[in-house]
Amino acid sequence: MAGMDIRLERDGAIATLLLDRPDKRNALTEAMWTAMPSLLDEAAQDDAVRVLIVSGTGGHFASGADITEFEAVYATPERAQSYSRAVAGALDALADFPKPALARIEGACVGAGCGIALACDLRFAADGARFGVTPAKLGLVYTLNDTRRLVEAVGVPAAKDILFSARLLEAAEALSVGLIDRLMAPGDLGRAVADYAALLVSRSGHSAKVAKRMIAMIQNGVTGETEETRALFLDAFSGDDFAEGYRAFLDKRTPDFSKDKT
């Protein structure tokens, strides 16, 4: 949908959730937060979509929430609660997205923008990108889920440093602490993300979705096999993807998982 500040674009099996307010470095409005869950659900329900890329326009990922709205959205406790629910709902929807989600980061990735990146499965960044989690500059706090995602990415000491100081990290430091997973020259970012997304498309979508689900269970404290995890493991053997993968192995050819509907 042209003219929207946030929209879903499709290119074959790859969908892009595009933040498009370049004049504001893609700062997110309440309307953008509110729209995000339905766009993600649209991509999740589309069997043709196998991978999601989250990206921004104008040389930036996202500079955070739009502070110019704060006077209105925090005008009353009830209004603040409504706004906070919208932000948390959008970030949780992205974190819970059932297919692989990749953040394509350049320029500013700050505040809520960093929260969006952390809600993705993997983060690819261009040299020159800058990262920060900045509630301490405003006397605010990160939600528990946002804090958990930060801790899972960088560990406790680095998370404390990032939250206590609200300082900006250059891309090389962000890589060294685990805030991002890949770092490359700005001119190589688009191709690297596209190539990796294409690699994921060539693999079993069912395997990726179940792996993501299993990892989420581990993150949520599951430490041993359950009826659900046993079923997820065993059911794969009767699935279409295993039939294709096994036959391709015997035939010494590349498997074709393009008809995955699971």
**Residue pLDDT tens, the chain, 262 long:** 445 899 999 999 999 999 999 999 999 999 999 999 999 999 999 999 999 999 999 999 999 999 999 999 999 999 999 999 999 999 999 999 999 999 999 999 999 999 999 999 999 999 999 999 999 998 989 999 999 999 999 999 999 999 999 999 999 999 999 999 999 999 999 999 999 999 999 999 999 999 999 999 999 999 999 999 999 999 999 999 999 999 999 999 999 998 644 4
Q: Which pTM was predicted? A: 0.95
CA distance 118 to 141: 16
Q: Is residue 259 part of a domain?
A: no
3-class DSSP assignment, residue 248: helix
Range of the domain at 230: 204-251
- Tell me how many helices (H) and strands (E) the chain has: 11, 9
In this structure, the answer to whether residues 140 and 245 fall within a common structural domain is no
Q: Is residue 262 part of a domain?
A: no
β-strand pairing of 108-110 with 130-132: parallel
CA distance 190 to 186: 8
In this structure, the answer to whether residues 61 and 186 fall within a common structural domain is yes
- Can you list the alpha helix ranges (DSSP code H) found in 220-256? 227-235, 240-251
In this structure, the answer to whether residues 58 and 109 fall within a common structural domain is yes
CB 105 within 8 A of CB 160: no
